[in-house]
Amino acid sequence: MNWLIITGKKDKRHTDALTSFFDTKKVNYTILKADTRKFTACHESSFKNFKELHGKIDEATHCICLDTSDIPLSPLFMYAAGLFAGKKIPVFLVPGAGNIPDFIVGETGTLVSDVDDLLETLKKDFPIYVKLEVQEKVRKKLFKLGIPLTPDSFSNYIARGDENTASLFPKAGMDVSIRDSAGTPMLCIAVRCNKPALVNWLIEQGADIDAASEDRGYTALMDAVWKNNYEVAETLVKAGARLDTVAKDGQPLMVLAAGISNIKICRLLFENGGDVCMKDRMGLSALDYARVFKNQIPMDLFSSGRP
């Protein structure tokens, strides 16, 4: 972050309070003092020429205008105001709008009553500024790598099992519960592509564990059962995945499990509360199917009491 503090001619304590705060946060800041003719640096030796002063304005990511009634509408200030409005840079105005033009108080401008109020706002919101700065850096990194910040690109790296690259997407601000263009949640993609490490990572990142895909209406756990993947199914059950989900074709999770006939998966779901009496559109349950197809092991399991 590069904070620009534009200050009028009043109490220097205002500036000192802000710089003390920024020093504790270890962030860059520049102070520009406005007089009736032009902006000059508080320490003119730190600015070799007007071009460097201009550069400090161009590099700013946030701006604070102190004692706004003492800041003249010089060409340099009007350039800064237009730049900040165009780049949507947050601007804080203390102690009010003064003679500041309306457009700088627009979408990204915030009026605060005094420096104490401003400091409280900064303390509360600073973690957000840090997070947004990290997101911007990661977005630039993805751009340099030629990787588009899109859901389909995210899903591609999950399908590959590339956790290092996939991890850049949420760092850049993308929701880990987002879906690809086909409507498939990222967690379902990881399950379908048998990427257990990515399944664990997405769960840790807070992905919606029960989100259903647009194609079959399967949740990640249903996909794991369909893929006959006990390891991933166990991970999802332990993470709290629902066991009463129903696919678009009306097939409940336990009916799907009975059809796969993987006794380990059937036992895992049954012992964790899976409902073997929930019926599909045919009016048959998992227990019914086990009996119809004389599948003795699941039939014995489903007919027994829970542990």
Domains, the chain, with CATH or none: 2-140 (3.40.50), 147-241 (1.25.40.20), 243-307 (1.25.40.20)
What does the pLDDT read at residue 36?
45
What does the pLDDT read at residue 122?
93
| Distance spanning both ends of the chain, measured CA to CA | 57
- DSSP for 100-159, please give it: --GGGGSTTEEE-SSHHHHHHHHHHHHHHHHHHHHHHHHHHHHHHTT---SHHHHHHHHH
Residue-wise pLDDT tens digits, 66-78: 876 667 677 777 7
Single out the residue of 29, 20, 42, 26 nearest to residue 2, CA to CA. 29
What does the pLDDT read at residue 153?
98
**What is the H or E stretch that residue 223 is in?**
helix 220-226
Cα angle, residue 172 at apex, residues 170 and 176 outer, rounded to 5°: 20
Quick one: the chain helix, strand, coil %, rounded to 5?
50, 10, 40
Q: How far apart are CA 84 and CA 99, in angstroms?
A: 17
Residue-wise pLDDT tens digits, 85-127: 888 888 888 875 555 655 555 667 788 888 889 999 999 999 9
What does the pLDDT read at residue 253?
96
**Average pLDDT of span 57-73:** 81
Question: Taking the alpha carbons of 152, 157, 159, 164 in that order, is the dihedral positive or negative?
Answer: negative
For the ranges 6-10, 19-23, 171-175, 251-255, which has the lowest average pLDDT?
Answer: 6-10
What does the pLDDT read at residue 160?
96
Q: How far apart are CA 243 and CA 89, in angstroms?
A: 47
User: Looking at residue 306, what DSSP letter applies?
Assistant: P
- Sheet of 39-41, strands arranged across: 39-41, 28-34, 2-7, 62-66, 91-93, 109-111
Residue-wise pLDDT tens digits, 261-270: 888 998 999 9
